[in-house]
């Protein structure tokens, strides 16, 4: 007779795979379900902020991928460069990152993976929902999508000149567009749009029209399909069901609007909290700490969305408050501090 696993994890994205690794290493018996097969792409800006890189380094190391030293914000002809105050970020294609992490999970002692297999209900002592923004467990622990609703698009292209060691963020009237080095001569291009102004050809259109970009596009060749995702930001007020011994992790536990660039870093840097809670049985502690981190990221996201509501406002902020931009980045990267907390 086979013994029941200690922990069943549903979802083999960064949150689920990293948690499986942490638990397996601590001696737990884990079953990890992933309904897709790898490699698979996922709509994403693919930038991992330095605290996410540090969390990965602590857990398992980092995959081979382009490093970035900071960000470049542009709007209405204004441009501000900001370096990360400490460490470097990573731009890593999701087909590569997720395959790499899932493989590490599969190779971890105590972890049994069921790839290409949707979770059917058979579970261990603890059940973890790491199944993303459309988690099936939101039926039990409801989620509230952010407003205004936004839509994300992402793809990879060849043919954009001057993409170096920064993630470039261009603000326009209906959202932002992100350009970053993806390695092997490819460029990640992602866009976030107010859904009322969303158009399927939005990225291609903006690449051809935005100042600071249009002159750099030389024979745009798309190398991966255009992927879309909505809704983007999500709030989940309760992420633990004590009676069912169920907890949520990663995006399923709530995620800030991707304007913060913090989704993966939040998922990875919360892995230790989740693993510790499962191993010690202190699920309530996980709920309060993880929710506090999520609130902080969401507050930052709301501020960034307000500052960039129109291209004109974003340009005004970059021009008149360029000195505040590094401070905002520090807030985003320093999980302990919270100067944005409402008094």
* Interface positions with ligand FAD (CB under 6 A): 10-16, 33-36, 42-48, 118-119, 130-132, 136, 152, 154, 190, 229, 232, 250-251, 255, 258, 261-265, 267
Q: Which two tokens stand for residue 292?
A: 């506090």
Q: How far is the CB of 85 from ligand FAD (least distance, A)?
A: 18
**Enclosing H/E stretch for 172:** strand 166-172
Q: Which two tokens stand for residue 187?
A: 């460029």
User: Which DSSP string corresponds to 245-266?
Assistant: TEEE-GGGG-B--GGG--HHHH
Q: How far is the CB of 298 from ligand FAD (least distance, A)?
A: 13
Q: What is the dihedral of CA 179, 60, 227, 216, to 10 degrees?
A: 20
Q: How far is the CB of 261 from ligand FAD (least distance, A)?
A: 4
Q: How far is the CB of 223 from ligand FAD (least distance, A)?
A: 17
| Cβ–Cβ under 8 Å, residues 270 and 235 | no
Q: Which is nearer to ligand FAD, 44 or 275 (CB)?
A: 44
Q: Which is nearer to ligand FAD, 22 or 44 (CB)?
A: 44
| Cβ–Cβ under 8 Å, residues 234 and 251 | yes
Q: Which is nearer to ligand FAD, 180 or 283 (CB)?
A: 180
State how far the alpha carbon of 139 is from the alpha carbons of 55, 129, 142, 300, in Å: 30, 12, 6, 28
Q: How far is the CB of 36 from ligand FAD (least distance, A)?
A: 4
- Which of 197, 198, 177 lies closest to 188 in space, CA to CA? 177
């Amino acid at each position: 007779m086979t013994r029941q696993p200690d922990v069943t994890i549903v979802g083999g994205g960064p949150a689920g795979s990293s948690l499986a690794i942490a638990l397996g290493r601590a001696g737990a018996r884990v079953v990890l379900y992933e309904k897709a097969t790898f490699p698979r792409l996922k709509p994403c800006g693919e930038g991992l902020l330095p605290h996410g890189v540090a969390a990965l380094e602590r857990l398992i190391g980092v995959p081979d991928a382009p490093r970035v030293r900071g960000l470049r914000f542009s709007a209405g002809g204004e441009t501000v460069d900001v370096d990360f105050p400490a460490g470097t970020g990573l731009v890593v294609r999701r087909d590569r990152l997720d395959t790499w992490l899932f493989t590490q999970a599969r190779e971890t002692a105590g972890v049994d993976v069921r790839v290409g297999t949707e979770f059917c209900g058979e579970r261990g002592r603890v059940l973890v929902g790491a199944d993303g923004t459309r988690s099936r467990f939101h039926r039990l622990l409801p989620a509230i999508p952010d407003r205004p609703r936004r839509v994300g698009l992402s793809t990879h292209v060849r043919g954009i000149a001057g993409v170096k060691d920064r993630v470039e963020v261009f603000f326009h009237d209906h959202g932002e567009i992100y350009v970053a080095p993806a390695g092997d001569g490819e460029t990640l291009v992602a866009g976030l749009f107010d859904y009322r102004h969303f158009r399927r050809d939005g990225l291609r259109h903006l690449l051809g029209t935005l100042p600071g970009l249009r002159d750099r596009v030389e024979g745009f060749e798309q190398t991966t399909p255009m992927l879309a995702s909505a809704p983007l930001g999500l709030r989940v007020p309760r992420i633990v069901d004590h009676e069912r011994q169920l907890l949520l992790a990663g995006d399923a536990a709530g995620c800030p609007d991707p304007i913060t660039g913090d989704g993966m870093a939040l998922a990875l840097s919360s892995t230790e909290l989740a693993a510790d809670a499962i191993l010690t049985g202190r699920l309530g502690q996980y709920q309060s700490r993880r929710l506090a981190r999520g609130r902080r990221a969401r507050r930052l996201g709301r501020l960034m969305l307000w500052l960039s509501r129109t291209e004109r406002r974003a340009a005004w902020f970059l021009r008149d408050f360029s000195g505040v931009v590094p401070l905002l980045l520090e807030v985003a990267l320093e999980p302990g501090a919270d100067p944005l907390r409402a008094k």
